Amino acid sequence: MAVGGAEAVQLTELQRECATRHAELWRTMLGRAPGEAVEPVAPPSRGDRRFSTPEWSESPVHDYLRQAYLINAEFVSACAAALPCEDAREKARMQYLARQFVDALAPSNFAATNPEFVRAALESEGESISRGIANLLADLGRGRISMTDESAFEVGRDLAVTPGEVIFENRLMQLIQYAPATAQVASKPLLIVPPCINKYYILDLSPENSFVRFVVEQGFTVFMISWKSAGPDEAHLGWDDYVETGVFEALRVVRAITRVREPNVLGFCIGGTLLASALAVAAPLRRGRVASLTLMTTLLDFEESGELGCLVDENAVAARERAAAEGAPMRGTELAGVFASLRANELIWPYVVGNYLKGERPPAFDLLYWNSDSTNLPGRFAAWYLRNMYLDNALRDPGRLAILGADVDLGRIDAPAYLFAAAEDHIVPWHGAYASRALLGGDTCFVLGASGHIAGAINPASRNRRSYRCDGPDTDDAESWLAGSIERPGSWWLDWVEWLRARSGRSVAARTPGNARFAPIEAAPGRYVTERT
């Protein structure tokens, strides 16, 4: 990679600035009187909890270590941003790798340079070290870092407990119909298509955090797909199978049970991409009509796919295709590791420090339990998704993709659509999610929530925290929409449910799960979701 004149000048300036800051740090430390508190030369950024305990500032040695590290970290990050790259994906990959390097070398991650490790060892008379080693050995056995107290949760006992029945199943999915919570329900039901990368109960966590329970309590008949984690028997399945055997079969059963030809549908993350591609194929057919479409943190145009997209290149996809040809799945633990690396200072290193250096056990947290409960994808499905979406970005172009032998045109989807994105989402950047407005053929409503990919979407109405932006102008430009939007306090769920209610028809008597043709098979959450990879 050649560095031109302008870039060389910029790198030289960054070196000079780094050296100047180090010299200033030395002067500050040498002039510091014992016990004196001084303003740091390189303070941690807002929200950086790695150096927040008093030991880091009270000890001159550790105070110097953390500030020297922060100066160097800023220098490396700035250099990665300044280096020239003709390809935006390559530059994003360089910045990603630089951040992995910087995050891993933080002095907080090592026993010899972390004063919290020393304090915990002294206060526990060495017991914290023994506990840390035990935690490390246990996690090596699991093959992953513990992020929560997993003994506190069990699917079907503490999580995924909204009452319902599995009323249909095939080799790829089970379909759950939830029991009504009201005497009357909207005539048009709601089918939810969750991500097949993760288990569905992100939408049915503990009762106070459950999206499904909220929707049922609002007077809707709700159906949920529960995807099967791929094993050897599913290794050959591809995107077409998930459309035909997953989405289309679920729609067929929902229509047969409720006798409603045009149900409401909702897709979350890759579930939304899968759902939209299915509707685009089925649009010319009668089975393709729906009353409304909701997409939660979903990409249809992958031009702005964030850091996840920078990790997908021709070599990576070709390797995945070769592995898929040999029957290898994309393992859930591999996916979980990639997602965690995007936020290593939140999802990796705090647990390394807490679990192994300080000998602590992470607290119980339903969302992180779900995050650790990964699923496998068929290798063929994953390879097709990576090539056609992330690498070629073919879904946005009418007729470029064929699914089940039919051309895909998202513009054929003329149902009203509610598009939700999260402002701090690192998996589905909100600008990328906003681009769906220009692709869909019906009226669209865009809402931007606070926080990230999961915490932004799962924002319980009962707590009514954070805020969301809505009512921006109908424009293809995301920034123009943002400038004209209105911020409202509380959960976006309340806005969405009123939007859905207006498209769900009259009230009818509540429906019990199943019917004579589709009798209940087993109680929710069903067998598929309890399988561990």
Residues with active-site annotation:
269
- 3-class DSSP state for residue 98? helix
Q: How many CB atoms lie within 10 A of CB 132?
A: 23
Tokens 């700035």 sit on residue:
78
Q: What six digits make up the tokens of 171?
A: 């080799």
Contact yes or no for 281/243 (Cβ under 8 A): yes
In the chain, DSSP finds a helix count (H) and a strand count (E) of: 21, 15
Quick one: DSSP state of residue 409?
-
Residues 6+ apart with CB under 8 A from 462: 208, 214
Closest CA to 184 of 434, 509, 446: 509
Q: What gap in Å lies between CA 458 and CA 46, rounded to an integer?
A: 24
Tell me the residue length of the chain.
533
How many C-alpha atoms does 463 have within 13 Å on its Cβ side? 12
Q: Partners of 342 in the beta sheet?
A: none
Residue 386 DSSP class: I
Under 8 Å between Cβ of 104 and 78: no
> Could you say which DSSP state residue 357 is in?
I
For 304-416, strand residue ranges (E) read 402-403, 406-407
Q: Which long-range contacts (CB under 8 A, 24 or more apart) does 18-26 make?
A: 18/71, 18/72, 18/74, 18/75, 21/71, 22/68, 22/71, 25/64, 25/67, 25/68, 25/71
Q: Are 425 and 431 in contact (CB under 8 A)?
A: no
DSSP helix/strand/coil, 392: coil
Closest by CA position to 511, among listed 330, 254, 307: 254
Q: What is the Cα–Cα distance from 8 to 6, expressed in whole angstroms? A: 5
CA angle, residues 243, 249, 254, in degrees to nearest 5: 125
**Two tokens, residue 236:** 């050959």
